Amino acid sequence: MQRLWLPRAMRIAPALDESIRPDIVRPRYALLINPFYPKDPHASFGKHVLTPSLALTSIAASTPENWQVQYWDENLLQGPPPWQPFPEVVGITVHLTFAERAYALARWYRERGSKIVCGGLHVLSCPEEVRPHCDALAMGEGVQLWGRVLRDVEAGTLQPVYRGDYRHPYRDDPPPRRDLVPDDSFLTTASLIATRGCHNRCGFCYLSTDGLQMPYLTRDVEQIVDEFRATGQPYGVFIDNNLGSKPEYLRRLCRAMRPLEKIWSAAVTLDVTDDPSLVREMALAGCTGVFVGFESLQDENIVAAHKKSPRAEEYARRVEVLHENGIQVNGSFVLGFDHDRPDVFARTAEWIERNRLECATFHILTPYPGTPLFKQMEAEGRLLHRDWSLYDTGHVVFRPRHMTPEQLADGYAWCYQRLFSHKSIWRRRPREARAVLPYLAMSYLYKRSNWLWYHLIRHRLTATAWRGLVEWTRGRHLRFRARLQMETVPGIRVSGVIVPAGV
């Protein structure tokens, strides 16, 4: 396999200076940290700066008024988190792939006088592992808990465990603190969330983790529209697990967003194409790209994963419904299911090229702790290890049923190498001639420019590099939309519109 370039700063966390000894801890000052995680050299580095995570900025919004709060994302390559002034409380997101980095940060700040609060999915799935590294565990919805935690710190009554409930009214959550985010470091800071949860409970998905009770809830449509408008951004990214779980809600949301004249992308399941008129509403509202979890081209794999999905033979027709409405598709594919054999890699790549998917994302099947898949693999003795840093969907951590771990790893790398090749990019170009040039610009900037992304991220030039193209795309979409509105029959191809992928 081709040796891929991966600079040290993208694979190794910044060093923590052990010689630092702060004079004082500043009372009522909190620091929220998104820890560093190694980047996959096969995928685009650009996807890490598409839009900021809403988890910590949403939590920051519930900070009491008498507290100061700061946000730090180590993945923006600006060095280790700040320590002047030294925070009284440090909140750290813990996910299994960067758990060790989270623990190192916790130790460093804790030894110097900070109170450490850990939250995130790994806290829910492996609380006993996380507990020794912090003063308090925040389990569940952090927006509910953060204010309580800080008030208890003030009172000297910090509890070892706080539990939040995902069933409280979603509309009650305050808007995220986007002012804490360096907007020049992201393609867009308009990360939005309208819904929580998903109608699927796939056995390999983190939403099926034991103890995670997350019913499907929606926010008021007017809240989303006002929030999107207030960002001042031309392009927004919905980070919902599945924005289309309730089609009528999505239709109302689309109609309310149409006057904004902005563009956006979202993750949906393929059954959003059950009603082509809904797809047309999405396009008229500014949707230019969707992230679709196809997962597998074999029905047996989908059934075994307990995912509700159209049959694989319908995938191509449904992709065409999206394309006919100017919506590009970033397809997500999981490799290594029990019905996969060594031919799965070539078959998947050929299908993607034949159906002209503008982008594709590949994942090695990964049994996250606490999920049904993890229990199955553990019971069958198929787990290779419990090194959580490699449970990142880019490494093989179990024994596949019909191939060797080495074959799965090589096939994963080959899929990215094939789809990022000049030939594949050209084969997947849009049929509409006027859409080819922006598609090629997106493909080469997003998919084949990791050497450039490294410098853009390090020097905080992401917004400068992308936003001109995004604004141009928005203008093209508005012209496309005007023509689409004149169509008397929904679903007729009018033009192609491309916006940077990577939802």
Model pLDDT for residues 42-78, shown as the tens digit of each residue: 999 999 999 998 889 999 999 999 999 999 999 999 9
Whether 132 and 229 map to the same domain: the answer is no
Amino acid letter at 403? Answer: M
Whether 266 and 361 map to the same domain: the answer is yes
At residue 176 the predicted structure's pLDDT band, cuts being 50, 70 and 90, is: very high
DSSP state of 362: E
Indicate the SS3 state at residue 429: coil
pLDDT surpasses 80 at 206? no
Q: How many domains does the chain have?
A: 2
d(C-alpha 324, C-alpha 263), whole Å:
17
pLDDT at 192: 95
pLDDT digits (tens, 9 = 90+) for 254-307: 999 999 999 999 999 999 999 999 999 999 999 999 999 999 999 999 999 888
In a domain, 494, yes or no: no
Whether 91 and 194 map to the same domain: the answer is no
Question: What secondary structure does DSSP assign to 166-233, as a single string?
Answer: TTS-GGGSPPP-GGGS-GGGSS-S-EE--EES-S---TTSGGG-TT-----EE--HHHHHHHHHHH--
In a domain, 177, yes or no: no
Whether 319 and 204 map to the same domain: the answer is yes
Whether 140 and 204 map to the same domain: the answer is no
Whether 198 and 163 map to the same domain: the answer is no
Where is the domain boundary, 170, 195, 210?
A: 170
Whether 219 and 143 map to the same domain: the answer is no
Closest of 406, 330, 328, 311 to residue 364, by C-alpha: 406
pLDDT digits (tens, 9 = 90+) for 332-342: 999 999 999 99
Question: What secondary structure does DSSP assign to 79-146, as a single string?
Answer: -SPP-SSPEEEEEEE--GGGHHHHHHHHHHHHHTT-EEEEESHHHHH-HHHHGGG-SEEEES-HHHHH
In a domain, 125, yes or no: yes
In a domain, 503, yes or no: no
Mean pLDDT, range 372-390, rounded to an integer: 95
pLDDT at 172: 79
Q: CATH number of the domain that 249 lies in?
A: 3.80.30.20
pLDDT at 494: 45
In a domain, 276, yes or no: yes
Q: What domain range is 395 assigned to?
A: 182-486
β-strand partners of 163: 139
pLDDT at 493: 47
In a domain, 15, yes or no: yes
Predicted TM-score (pTM) of this structure: 0.91
Whether 125 and 46 map to the same domain: the answer is yes
In a domain, 498, yes or no: no
Indicate the SS3 state at residue 443: helix
Whether 195 and 152 map to the same domain: the answer is no
Question: Tokens 């867009």 map to which residue?
Answer: 188
d(C-alpha 18, C-alpha 108), whole Å:
8
466 φ/ψ angles, rounded to the nearest 5 degrees? -100, -35
In a domain, 214, yes or no: yes
Whether 299 and 358 map to the same domain: the answer is yes
pLDDT at 492: 47
Q: Which residue has the higher pLDDT, 211 or 88?
A: 88
Where is the domain boundary, 137, 170, 203?
A: 170
d(C-alpha 364, C-alpha 409), whole Å:
8
Mean pLDDT, range 199-220, rounded to an integer: 67
For residues 81 and 33, the answer to whether their CB atoms sit within 8 Å is: yes
d(C-alpha 470, C-alpha 482), whole Å:
18
pLDDT surpasses 70 at 201? no
Whether 155 and 194 map to the same domain: the answer is no
Whether 250 and 332 map to the same domain: the answer is yes
Question: Tokens 């229990």 map to which residue?
Answer: 375
pLDDT digits (tens, 9 = 90+) for 103-158: 999 999 999 999 999 999 899 889 999 999 999 999 988 898 999 999 999 999 99
